[in-house]
Amino acid sequence: MFDLSTLDWQKMSGIIPAIIQDADNGKVLMLGYMNPEALSETLALKEVVFYSRSRQGLWRKGEKSGNVLKLISMSTDCDADSLLILVKPAGPTCHYNTSSCFSGSSFTLGFLTQLEKIVLSRKIQPRQTSYVSKLLQQGINRVAQKVGEEGVEVALAAVTPAMETLEAESADLLFHLIVLLVAQERSLMTVVRILQDRHSQ
């Protein structure tokens, strides 16, 4: 359980800022504020609830649009006067229908998560013009074969002078690896977590 009493509520007269971050790709989605009641509701509902300074009351993000922020985890900073909340957004976070309230926000590696979602959508709802849909329809053996072929091409590119070839072939390998993981109902994030666990050992 998160201990509300450890937070410094007095510094900002009973509220604290809460930075909202996508748990999958690390993208900063928005900044909101919480009072003790909002934080308690967030923990109880497992969905983010803010304190609105303009309305002076609680509001659950997405209560009208359905674009709720599902709580994954939260932590406090070293001064215990702000929160970092990791979420899984159910849709666009910003009221302008964008994923983030910060227009310049970008997280390059987070694109892999976006790409994985696109590949999954091509599996669930195949498109005749989609390379991914056609590849998945050929079966797991063909998808695995493509990963093998791309792996060989990466190895060959590594011993040639043109480094841009290595980068391009690596992109092909990574793309087809994502397709393979989706085909087998696995997640790229699970692979990343395995690497993180190995690093911590």
The CA distance from 174 to 168, in Å, is 10
CB 7 within 8 A of CB 74: no
Kindly give, in sequence order, each residue whose CB lies less than 8 Å from that of residue 84, ignoring residues fewer than 6 positions away.
18, 19, 21, 74, 75, 76, 77
Same domain, 117 and 52: no
Q: What is the pLDDT of residue 108?
A: 61
Same domain, 85 and 119: no
Tell me: the pLDDT tens digits for 153-187?
999 999 987 767 999 999 999 999 999 999 999 99
Residue type present at position 88: K
Residue 164 lies in a domain: yes
CATH of the domain at 163: 1.10.287.1080
Tell me: the pLDDT tens digits for 7-44?
999 998 999 999 999 988 788 999 999 999 999 999 99
Is the pLDDT score of 5 beyond 90?
no
CB 48 within 8 A of CB 85: yes
Residue 160 lies in a domain: yes
Q: What is the pLDDT of residue 1?
A: 58
Same domain, 142 and 188: yes
Residue 103 lies in a domain: no
When the pLDDT of each residue in the chain is averaged and rounded to a whole number, the result is 91
**Single pTM value for the model:** 0.61
Task: Give the total number of structural domains in the chain.
Answer: 2
CATH of the domain at 39: 3.10.20.810
Q: Where in the sequence is the domain holding 190, given as residue range(s)?
A: 110-200
Q: What is the pLDDT of residue 31?
A: 96
Same domain, 70 and 130: no
Residue 104 lies in a domain: no
